[in-house]
Amino acid sequence: MADDLLSELLAPLRLEGVFHSRWTARAPWGVAGEAEDCALLHYVQAGACTVELPGHDPVRLAAGDLAVFPHGTAHRLADAPGRATVPLASLLPARPPGAARTVRIDGPGAATTMLCGGLHYDPAAAAPLYRALPPVLVLERAALRRQPLLAGTLDGLAREWDEDAPGQTLVALRAFELAFVLALRAALGALADGEPILRALRHPAVGPALLAVHRRFAEPWTVDRLAAEAGMSRSAFAAAFRELVGVAPMRHLTARRLQEAARLLAGTALPHHAVARRVGYRSEVGFHLAFRREYGLTPGDYRRATAPGLPQATARTATEATQDAN
């Protein structure tokens, strides 16, 4: 169940490219990165470093450890806690997807070598439960080595560093994408039982209901129907869902529907009424209002902003009418 739901959480992300870099930094050093609209991976090949996030205790990464930032949360990397930092933008002023860079920081102390990747995705495509992932997930060397495919992928990325090799951009994207998915799967399995997202995924009733929402969002769900899917009473299900997921069941369903609507608006030329029906709205007006509340833009404005080349179709084709009727 958890693996199935993990697939549903990650599939809509639509990774668009990866910027990756290899770092060699000698102490003392410190780098501060701003929040980014991408997932970040830091794999320590040699040496050690410290990760600091506001409101969290420092995390020490040793050789062979991997840190994953699902939301690109702002953080500091340094050889020791409390070290003075320089902005990441001063070392890497531009980080376009598809590019690779090498960074060296000179100093008199011990060296740390890291492989870093930023996987770019459309934040609007992030599933509601994906947003509930912790800001950083850490896989220590021992846990990572129990995942031979993940460890092998990271080792291969660390060894292959020819920025001009044929197909390098595609190879890097696919390899980092594989590493990201494998790391999330392994990290979720290692999370403390008290983490809300893990409790939701493993809950014998809420887990199936979440999977139903993510896979069958266009169905005419009600709280009663979701409770029946979970095998619980309406009140017990609503209370358990809110406790574990953080929002009411129908609010989560709305977010999932509108997430899919945003994907369709940005990636297809379907008319707005067809998009509305595809995601479970029988009223185009209701869809329009809900979308604007969620994204602050009308569906048309969102499409123009995210996919300016797509036609602003409004006429219903015979094929779409048939699909909507079905």
Claim to verify: residue 49 and residue 179 sit in the same structural domain: yes
Claim to verify: residue 38 and residue 137 sit in the same structural domain: yes
What pLDDT score was predicted for residue 190?
66
Q: 132 in helix, strand or coil?
A: helix
Domain count, the chain: 2
Cβ burial of 34 (10 Å; 0-12, 13-18, 19+) is exposed
pTM beyond 0.95: no
Claim to verify: residue 307 and residue 276 sit in the same structural domain: yes
Domain extent at residue 297: 201-325
What pLDDT score was predicted for residue 207?
86
Residue segments in the chain with a per-residue pLDDT below the cut of 50: 1-2, 313-326
Claim to verify: residue 182 and residue 206 sit in the same structural domain: no
Domain termination residue (choose one: 190, 221, 246): 190
Under a CB-based contact definition with an 8 Å cutoff, are residues 288 and 247 in contact? no
Claim to verify: residue 149 and residue 10 sit in the same structural domain: yes
What pLDDT score was predicted for residue 270?
95
Claim to verify: residue 258 and residue 176 sit in the same structural domain: no
Q: Return all residues near 216 (Cβ < 8 A) that are at least 6 apart.
A: none
What pLDDT score was predicted for residue 310?
64
Claim to verify: residue 119 and residue 28 sit in the same structural domain: yes
Q: Is residue 195 part of a domain?
A: no
Euclidean distance between CA atoms 98 and 301, whole angstroms:
28
- Tally the C-alpha atoms within 13 A of residue 319's C-alpha that lie toward its C-beta: 2
Claim to verify: residue 186 and residue 226 sit in the same structural domain: no
> Which region, left, alpha or beta, applies to residue 110 given φ > 0 means left and ψ of -120 to 50 means alpha?
beta
Q: Is residue 196 part of a domain?
A: no
Q: Is residue 279 part of a domain?
A: yes
Per DSSP, what are the bridge partners of residue 111? 26
> Which CATH number covers residue 314?
1.10.10.60
Amino acid making up residue 9: L
What pLDDT score was predicted for residue 283?
94
Domain termination residue (choose one: 138, 170, 190): 190
Domain termination residue (choose one: 147, 169, 190): 190
Q: Is residue 260 part of a domain?
A: yes
Claim to verify: residue 87 and residue 140 sit in the same structural domain: yes
> Which CATH number covers residue 20?
2.60.120.280
What pLDDT score was predicted for residue 210?
87
pLDDT per residue over 252-276, tens digit each?
999 999 988 998 998 899 999 999 9
Q: Is residue 289 part of a domain?
A: yes
Q: Is residue 210 part of a domain?
A: yes
Q: Distances in Å between the alpha carbon of 149 and those of 114, 194, 255?
A: 19, 28, 33
119 C-beta neighbours (distance < 10 Å), count: 24
Under a CB-based contact definition with an 8 Å cutoff, are residues 79 and 50 in contact? yes
